[in-house]
Amino acid sequence: MRIPSLTLNDGHRIPQIGLGTWPLNDEEVADAVVAAAELGYRHIDTATRYGNETGVGVGIRRTGIPREEFFVTTKLDGPFQGDDRAIAGLADALQRMEFDYVDLLLIHWPRPWEDLYVSTWRTFERLKEEGLARSIGVSNFKPAHLDRLAQETGTVPAVNQIQLNPAVVRLAEREYHDAHGIVTESYSPFGGGRSTLFDDPVLVRVGERYGKTPAQVMTRWHLQSGLVTIPKSGNRERMAQNIDVFDFELDAQDLAAIDSLAGDEGNDSDRIGH
User: Residue 145, Cβ neighbours under 10 Å: how many?
Assistant: 20
Cβ proximity of 145 and 110 under 8 Å: yes
Residue 117 falls in the annotated catalytic set: no
Task: Say how far apart CA 187 and CA 141 lie, in whole Å.
Answer: 13
Helix 85-97 vs helix 117-129: crossing angle, to nearest 10: 50
User: Residue 51, Cβ neighbours under 10 Å: how many?
Assistant: 16
Instruction: Check 50, 117, 176, 187 and give the catalytic one.
Output: 50
Catalytic residues: 50
